[in-house]
């Protein structure tokens, strides 16, 4: 069998990955007719990404309830890719923003994906085809960690081991200092045959033409993205307000996780994000200013990385070429 030209979209979190995934999922049949096989991201996560990460935890000595050996992982991933073998597509598109880890990893440690190296190593070695292109979106550090904190609080369960407050997250972040360059260098190391394409989430939000242009690059030239049906429903979930997050954090600290879990949705509904309840922003003005400057500097550094191509609206529409 001729190997499919494999493309990976790896997030990162809170950068409109859901919109891209829903667009691809809605048009899965149309893509298949054009020789493009899209693996639904929920299937990829459940049957591939999660087993890879459970195997990675074992490799680095982190104890988890579920343990997957190398032999078990090989068997699971082989079975997962059997439909691709049968279909024999020209192009394979994979998408999962959990490639490097989870929002909780970032919040609890103040780092961009604490286990990124182990997770990506396991994902890469278990992918049966060489990944030729990788697409990633980055976001301003202050906004990324604020959004990640909301997701972390939404995911807390009654039996979660501990609560990381905004103060703890801020302290740990400034002890480590985040850097997208470090994360992307890890991607490059574990996917050495891939050309990496990166865009700023801020550009994506400001220019509505970026979404179809990026989708076109993901799927290649055999299907015209202009023929796509729009994804069903609203793919954007409203972020929590400042008032809601203050109430949730207070509840978690004073009454515990069972009370938080029981009242979490009601509190978010009671205090929606609006002019009165405000936008959640855990940073002091000087902290945000520092993180903003760091982000600008890091984007400039990314532009000097030979393994990375920065995508912006001018490039996407000026060149108008497909890989």
Contact assessment for residue 219 and residue 225, using Cβ atoms and an 8 Å cutoff? yes
pLDDT in tens, 254-305: 999 999 999 999 999 999 999 999 999 999 999 999 999 999 999 999 999 9
pLDDT category at 319 given cuts 50, 70, 90 is low
Indicate whether 235 pLDDT > 60.
Answer: no
Indicate whether 222 pLDDT > 90.
Answer: yes
- For residue 215, what pLDDT is reported? 97
Q: Retrieve residue 15's tokens.
A: 């950068």
pLDDT in tens, 24-40: 999 999 999 999 999 99
pLDDT category at 64 given cuts 50, 70, 90 is confident
- Using alpha carbons, select from 284, 244, 298 the residue that is nearest to residue 142: 284
pTM over 0.85: yes
pLDDT category at 2 given cuts 50, 70, 90 is confident
């Amino acid at each position: 069998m001729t190997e499919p030209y494999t493309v990976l979209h790896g997030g990162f979190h809170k950068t409109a990955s859901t919109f891209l995934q829903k667009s691809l999922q809605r048009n899965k049949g149309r893509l298949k007719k054009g020789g493009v096989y899209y693996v639904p991201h929920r299937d990829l996560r459940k049957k591939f990404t999660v087993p890879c990460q459970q195997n990675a935890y074992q490799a680095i000595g982190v104890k988890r309830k579920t343990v997957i050996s190398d032999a078990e992982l090989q068997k699971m991933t082989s079975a997962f890719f059997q439909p691709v073998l049968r279909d024999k597509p020209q192009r394979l598109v994979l998408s999962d923003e959990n490639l490097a880890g989870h929002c909780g990893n970032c919040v609890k440690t103040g780092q961009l994906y604490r286990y990124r190296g182990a997770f990506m190593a396991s994902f890469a070695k278990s992918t049966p085809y060489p990944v030729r292109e990788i697409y990633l979106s980055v976001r301003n550090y202050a906004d990324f960690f604020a959004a990640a904190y909301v997701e972390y609080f939404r995911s807390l369960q009654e039996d979660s081991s501990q609560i990381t407050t905004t103060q703890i997250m801020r302290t740990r972040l400034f002890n480590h200092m985040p850097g997208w360059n470090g994360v992307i260098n890890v991607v490059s190391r574990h996917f050495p045959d891939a050309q990496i394409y990166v865009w700023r989430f801020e550009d994506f939000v400001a220019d509505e033409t970026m979404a179809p242009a990026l989708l076109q690059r993901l799927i290649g030239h055999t299907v015209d993205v202009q023929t796509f049906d729009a994804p069903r429903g609203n793919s954007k979930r409203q972020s929590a307000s400042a008032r809601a997050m203050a109430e949730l954090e207070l509840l978690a600290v004073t009454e515990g996780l069972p009370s938080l879990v029981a009242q979490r949705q009601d509190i978010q509904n009671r205090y929606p994000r609006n002019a009165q309840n405000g936008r959640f922003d855990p940073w002091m003005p000087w902290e945000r200013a520092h993180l903003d400057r760091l982000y600008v500097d890091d984007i400039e550094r990314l532009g000097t990385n030979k393994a990375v191509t920065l995508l912006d609206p001018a490039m996407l529409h000026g060149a108008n070429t497909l890989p």
